Amino acid sequence: MPPRKAPVPQPEMISSIGPPEAEAAARLTIDLSALQANWRLLGQQALPVDCAAVVKADGYGCGIEQVSAALTKAGCKTFFVADLSEARRVRAISPEAVIYVLDGVLPGSGPAFAEVYARPVLGSLVELAEWDRFVASENWRGGAAIHVDTGMNRLGMSAEEVIALAPRMQKENHGFTLLMSHLACAETPDHPLNDRQIRLFREIRVQFRGLPASLANSSGIFLGDSAHCDLVRPGAALYGVNPTPGRANPMQPVVNLEGRIIQVRSIAKGGTVGYGAAWAAKRPSRIAMVAVGYADGYPRAASAANGSPGGQAIVAGQRCPLAGRISMDLLAIDVTDVPESAVHRGDFATLIGGDLGVDEVAAFAGTIGYEVLTRLGHRYHRVYNGG
């Protein structure tokens, strides 16, 4: 384990970041208690194996420090990040955690792994050779994961390459701490590739008896015991994305995004809104302009045009359609059906939250909740609750 360090302030001590609320165009509220509840639920789903947490991409846009602190407090002991910079941020928060770096070893980065006390996920024989040279030269005993490609065809060594490494397990200091792979289609339970990957990983795992193994991501946890192995590593589901598409979402929502209305204007029938005049009013309408745009991470592809309904927002408790193209700093909401007395300059419109979940917002834009979360902007006044 890495050396103990001084305690780090817990997220409740950091209640908000970003511009002051009075000056901010939007308010992003992140429910750390819901995040912790999601981690516990996923862990219970996979019992008796251990449950890690994937906190890459700035904790899926929610703040890697706050997320890591909340999950550490909940009992999480193993984290997965994309690169060393993220590993450093998690290490500062969780001095005793095991941290795996999914992107592996970049040329010459061995000393940085030792400094952070992080473990690379080795995805090629070239990486393994470089890592072995570093370990031998520095007598480093921090360990590393072996990534075997069982069908994703992204990162990872081939099954044949990994099986050829199995005799190394007979050495006292073989240097491996985890055998892992990644499911390509876990969100589609009946996809035939799931079974092929699980079977292949099981065959490889037999060659590495005694070495902990990990296969299941968020959706993989719901494929059952055959995918659980020794360690599950949920990511998006922790932050409220549905790991079981097509079924009720078992996860609690974590993010709530509200954009400030900075103007309410009336337009005549036939009047157009936004760039390209892509949306025209079919009746005399009232339009609420909100100071959030694609520069803040709200997807431009959710724009509304004639013949394309686009996204929705919640204003005064009522769902309303977007109007026109989303621009860099602004979006328009058609609030014609909301009582005029209920919509005012300075009010907040809910863009994500309530019954308007992150997956639905993603669907408006033809994308996935992962992308919506990881693009959450930094001009927001961020509020952290619970944890």
Catalytic residue positions, numbered: 56, 275
Q: Is 230 exposed, middle or buried (0-12, 13-18, 19+ CB in 10 A)?
A: middle
Does residue 303 sit in helix, strand or coil? coil
Q: Which two tokens stand for residue 255?
A: 């993010």
In order of 12, 52, 54, the CA distances from 237 in angstroms are: 22, 12, 10
The whole-angstrom separation of Cα 90 and Cα 84 is 10
* Tokens at 248, concatenated: 């009720």
Task: Count other Cβ atoms within 10 Å, centred on residue 336.
Answer: 19
Q: Which amino acid is it at 286? A: R
Distance CA 77, CA 99 (A): 9
CA atoms within 13 A on the CB side of 70: 31
How many CB atoms are closer than 10 A to CB 151? 19
Peptide bond into 111 cis (omega under 30): no
DSSP state of 353: B
